[in-house]
Amino acid sequence: MELSKELLIDLYTTMVRIRRCDEKVIECLFAGKLITFYHSCQGQEAPGTALGRSLRKDDYLYYNHRGHGLPKVLPKGMSPKTFIAEHYGRATGAAKGYAGFHNCDIEIGIPGMGGMVGGEATLAAGTALACKLRGKGQVTANMFGDGATGRGPFHEAMLMSATWKLPLIWCVENNRYQQWTCISLTHPKEDLADFAHGYGIPSAVVDGQDVIACYEALQPAIERARAGKGPTLLEFKTYRFRPHVEGFPDFSVQCEGGCRPEFEVEEWKKRDPIKLMEATLLEKGVLTEADIERIHREATEEMEEADRFSADSPWPDPKGLDQALYAD
Amino acid sequence: MREIKYMDAINEAMKEEMSRDETVYLIGEDVSQDIWGTSCDLFEMFGSERVRDTAISEAAIIGSAVGAAIAGYRPVVNTMFADFAMCGADELLHKAAKWRFTHGGKIRIPMVVRAPAGGYSRLGPEHSQCPESLFMRTPGLKIAMPSTPYDAKGLLKTAIRDNNPVIFLEHKNLMGHTGPVPEEEYLVPFGVADIKREGTDVTVVATGFMVSLAQEVAEVLQQDHDVSLEIVDPRTLEPLDLDTILASVRKTKHLVVVDEETSRCGPAAEIGMLVMENAFDYLDAPIKRVAAANYPIPGGYLEQFVLPQPQAMADAVAAVLGREKLDLQGKVVAKGAM
């Protein structure tokens, strides 16, 4: 698969924007400006970028808590302004300040995120059913972490999607840690893609640090869903560079010293998805050092502007509580 | 007016709404058959795309309904037993109830969860519950509890057209009850209580199967003891028509609240408190409640000692009126008593 120069630059730029936005949110958290918590997505920018840039505007995307959806919703078209404003609890936020971190924009096919790990799976099955019934070639994607595969509803939804051949792309980002517990303690096998065998659907294990590989793996899965042939399970091997949640140590009780081993983190950092793509694009002559510097500078400026916009935005009016609770 | 069964009234509502709006579909375990008799010809009429039998996956049934509703469909779930809905608690109490609010009111979740509820059939603790308090303490849900065929049809049609998640607690014991239902189309609005029996001495607020039981009790109390009960059926617990309840209390000065849910933290507790807050000065006596005793519902013989019984209703009426005893002499028997 030969990806166009424009697409390659777009994938790279999107990942840089995600990284800058994540850094900005963390900076604001420690500056006391955030009104909620934050789960950094640094290191896991590639799979969501590839997914968000592969979907149509009228396709649906369910996401999970890592980066509060940042690496999925930004590529699908959400503005960093509304993303950060939500974390500031402002009325201009992606959930009008009602959730702090459950970002939503149904106009661009982002129905939202829940508070239970893996809780979006059954909803994704229903949204995919709606896509199928409507018959306009829409698909639904659900990107979630390895921890979600421990939950019953995920398997119920997999079963339903496989039986009814729903237009669904199941994307698991396997970063090997559910909060602080290593997958070796919770799952009998490292490859979560193997779950697909039991449901009789295709699957693939993908290098989740290589955005081009992620993009290439997604295309047949999406085409298959659009063609009415049913779901696919893609497993992206990836890693989070920072602790599960900001402000806590990088716990991992079963590891020596009670934390994730530093060498493991350092090994994975050598495979930073942004740096890998940067090297590829320089090598291909798609970008110059000057282009890269400009992309980073513009992303930084964009996030500073989003921060200013959020800080200047009004608080939500509590008079709106009733309207938010029930629809007319 | 013609008389039809409660189960057939539900069937008619389903047929009419599925014909009217092609985004309405029915989903659940064996919904093409439905053990309570409400499905009849639905599968023949609408086929497997709109009458969807599923695996035994309550979370996926309810959760998928939420996901389809967000994307513009109007799913109707049937959980077979209200108790089974607990297997989809996250999907129902979090996703269906909260997602609109969580996301700042930017999405709509028009769906109905039909949950056949209630005891008196000796089916044991996990097939007999009336779990409305779980739903009442969950803002974001609406709750309908039809007590007659007329209300069942009219409320279900309203529920399906509502743009919010509605829990529809159809009572298993009422399925074979008959009552007048017009041939022509009608809706029963949410949040409008119905005075099922007018009276002067005591207001009895009752829901679901308790309404018919209270009506029988009221008849005997009138005949044998010259006590006049006014039975107010809220029909929906959310929204709750508090005004009609308060108006009745101001008239009778006495209140008994009857419901089939476990007494502790049940609807009777909430309604009693609301009346105390809003009409205390009108009451001539403390409010009494009649509800299930604070045990799991036993199977078999012991069930009758836990679920509300007619004489307990008469005793509560006697208590608020300051009377010694109003003996029903066994003239009213709840199904399931031995």
What whole-number percentage of chain B has pLDDT above 90?
A: 98
Span B191-205, mean pLDDT? 98
d(CA A148, CA A178): 8
The Cα–Cα gap between B74 and B187 comes to: 17
B67 with A128: Cβ contact below 8 A: yes
Same domain for B131 and B19:
yes
DSSP letter for A240, please.
-
Domain-terminating residue out of B180, B215, B245: B180
- pLDDT value at B279 more than 90: yes
Q: Which residues of B65-79 are buried (b: 16+ CB within 10 A; e: fewer)?
A: bbbbbbbebbbbbbb
pLDDT digits (tens, 9 = 90+) for A263-275: 888 999 999 999 9
- Pair (B23, B141) in one structural domain: yes
* Mean predicted confidence (pLDDT) in B294-308: 95
Is B185 within a domain?
no
Instruction: Identify whether the C-beta of residue B21 lies closer than 8 Å to the C-beta of residue B53.
Output: no
Output DSSP code: residue B120: S
More confident: A37 or B338: A37
Indicate the SS3 state at residue B182: coil
Of A83, A14, A65, A57, residue with least CA distance to A310: A83
Average pLDDT value for chain A: 95
Same domain, B243 and B266: yes
Is residue B96 in some structural domain?
Answer: yes
Nearest-CA distance B294 → chain A (Å)? 30
pLDDT value for B337: 63
d(CA A9, CA A19): 15
User: Is residue B80 in a domain?
Assistant: yes
pLDDT at A259: 78
Regarding whether B211 and B135 lie in a shared domain, the answer is no
- Domains along chain A with CATH numbers: 5-310 (3.40.50.970)
Token code pair at residue B275: 């009346």
Q: Cβ distance A143 to A48 under 8 Å? A: yes
CB burial class (10 A; 0-12, 13-18, 19+) of residue A283?
A: exposed
Residue A104 near chain B (CB below 8 Å): yes
CA distance to partner chain B, nearest, from residue A42 (Å): 25
Buried b / exposed e across A65-91, counting CB within 10 Å, b at 16+?
Answer: bbbbbbbbbbbbbbbbbbbbbbbbbbb
Q: What is the DSSP string of A155-197?
A: HHHHHHHHHTT-SEEEEEEE-SEETTEEHHHH-S-S-GGGHHH
CB contacts, 8 Å: B109 with chain A: 327
Q: Which residues of B touch A125 (CB under 8 A)?
A: 60, 63-64, 67
Cβ contact B70–A106 (<8 Å): yes
- Best mutation target among A116, A129, A164 (most B Cβ atoms within 10 Å) is A129
User: Do B255 and B142 belong together in one domain?
Assistant: no
- Report chain B's mean pLDDT, rounded to a whole number: 97
Give the SS3 label for residue A229.
coil
Domains held by chain B: number: 2
Is B315 within a domain?
yes
Residues 42-101 of chain B whose Cβ lies under 8 A from any Cβ of chain A: 49, 54-55, 57, 59-60, 62-73, 75, 88, 90-91, 94-95, 99-101
ipTM score: 0.96
Same domain, B199 and B176: no
Consecutive H or E run containing A144: strand A140-145
- Which pLDDT does position A258 carry in this prediction? 75
Contact (CB<8Å) B101/A325: yes
Whole-angstrom distance, CA of residue A134 vs CA of residue A113? 23
pLDDT at A95: 94
d(Cα B231, Cα A14) in Å, to the nearest integer? 64
Do B161 and B68 have their domain in common? yes
Q: pLDDT digit string (tens) for B7-49?
A: 999 999 999 999 999 999 999 999 999 999 999 899 999 999 9
Asked if B71 lies within 8 A of A93 by C-beta distance, the reply is no
Question: What pLDDT is recorded for position B14?
Answer: 98
In a shared domain, residues B155 and B278: no
Spatial separation of the C-alpha atoms in residues A155 and B186, rounded to whole Å: 41
| pLDDT tens-digit readout, A140-149 | 999 999 999 9
pLDDT confidence bin for A253, thresholds 50/70/90: low
Do the chains contact at B105 and A325, CB–CB below 8 Å?
yes
Q: Does the structure show a pLDDT above 70 at A45? A: yes
Task: Let me know whether B165 and B199 are in one domain.
Answer: no
Asked if residue B338 has pLDDT above 90, the reply is no
Looking at residue A20, the DSSP 8-state letter turns out to be: H
* Same domain flag for B162 and B284: no
My answer on whether B156 and B210 are in the same domain is: no
The 10s digit of each residue's pLDDT in B217-267 is 999 999 999 999 999 999 999 999 999 999 999 999 999 999 999 999 999
Q: Which residue of A has its CA nearest to B52?
A: A164
Mean pLDDT computed over A99-106 = 92
For the cut 90, the answer to whether the pLDDT of residue A26 exceeds it is yes
- Identify whether B333 is part of a domain: no
Asked, for residue B292, whether it belongs to a domain, the answer is yes
DSSP string for B93-118: IIIIHHHHHHTTT-----EEEE--B-
Kindly indicate the confidence band of residue A248, based on its pLDDT and cuts at 50, 70 and 90.
confident
- Of A159-163, A240-244, B137-141, least confident by mean pLDDT is A240-244
The CATH number of residue B134's host domain is 3.40.50.970
For B144-170, the pLDDT digits (tens) are: 999 999 999 999 999 999 999 999 999
Q: What is the CATH number of the domain that holds B226?
A: 3.40.50.920
Contact across the interface for B67 and A320, Cβ inside 8 Å: no
Strand partners for B324: none
Residues B247, B155 share a domain: no
pLDDT (0 to 100) of residue B62 = 98
Per the model's pLDDT, the better-predicted residue between B100 and A254 turns out to be B100
Q: Is B127 a catalytic residue?
A: yes
Find the domain containing B66 and state its range.
3-180
% of chain B beyond a pLDDT of 70:
99
- List of chain B residues whose C-beta atoms are within 8 Å of the C-beta of residue A323: 105
The encoded tokens of residue B135 equal: 């739903």
Q: What are phi and psi of B255, to 5 degrees?
A: -135, 130
In a domain, B114, yes or no: yes
Q: Is residue B329 part of a domain?
A: no
A123, A134, A140 member nearest B95 (Cβ): A123
